[in-house]
Amino acid sequence: MWWVRHTTLRQRALRPAFGARPAGMPPILRIDRAPVMPWRRFFCALVVLIAVCGATRLAADEIPVTSASLRVEDGEVRLTADFNVSLTPALEQALDKGVPLYFTIDFELQRPRMMWFPEKVATWSITYRVSYSSLTRQYRVSSGPLGQTFEALGDVERFIGHVASRPVASTSDVAKGVQYEAAVRMKLDVNQLPKPFQVNALASREWQLASDWYRFGFAP
């Protein structure tokens, strides 16, 4: 009908053009953003992927702790523990080339305290130096001035992975009826490797052999 068409045309004439601001209103401040280029997205994704892969690669191979216990004997607190040690192919090759490896076993004994940090009661550690002689075709494990030779690498792994009734504290350091928390671990000490191999240890998980702290309770 003619009046409907007339009203529609009048509304269109009064409607502001697209994008125009009504009179009396301040202009809108626009900030032009540079478009994200596809290569920038690809680069960011690549950086994230490298970081994730690097973190996975640097995760250390574990040395499982199969058992650990403490007992009081002859005025001493003695530790018995077993680790399932298995050298990686890279470490075996390093031994064959004459590179010595150092394995350290650490022990801590703490007394928990309410609303405060645990009290450290005793600490103990031992380091084994493992080497191989291509002349005698024998492995040697030494700790300080003492040493022992082995024919097979498996015997070496079992020897360094077994702690047999080692004194780690005195009975005067602990009190009867008190609950303590003990922890033991084993690791390849990469800081004692030759400098070029320390670089390899930072870049490859095969050079990072260690166990987590194995914690267990102890009550004298």
pLDDT score at 15: 52
Mean pLDDT of all residues belonging to the chain: 80
Nearest C-alpha neighbor of 180 from the set 192, 167, 169 = 169
pLDDT of residue 24: 57
- pLDDT recorded at residue 112: 92
Mean per-residue pLDDT for 159-166?
97
Contact 92, 101 (CB under 8 A): no
25-48 average pLDDT score: 47
Which among 120, 72, 101 is positioned nearest to 186, based on CA atoms?
101
32-41 average pLDDT score: 48
Query: Which whole number is the average pLDDT over 162-170?
Result: 96
pTM for the structure as a whole? 0.70
pLDDT of residue 27: 54
C-alpha 68/C-alpha 211 separation (Å) is: 13
Residue 62 pLDDT level (bands cut at 50, 70, 90) = confident
Q: Please give the Cα distance from 199 to 167 (Å, whole number).
A: 36
What residue ranges do the domains of the chain occupy? 66-218
At residue 23, the pLDDT reads 56
Whether the per-residue pLDDT at 134 is higher than 80: the answer is: yes
pLDDT the model gives residue 124:
97
Q: What's the Cα-to-Cα distance from 27 to each of 20, 82, 141, rounded to whole Å?
A: 10, 77, 82
Q: What pLDDT sits at residue 206? A: 76
Q: Tell me the average pLDDT across 151-176.
A: 96
Residue 129's pLDDT band (cuts 50, 70, 90):
very high
Is pLDDT of 110 > 70? yes
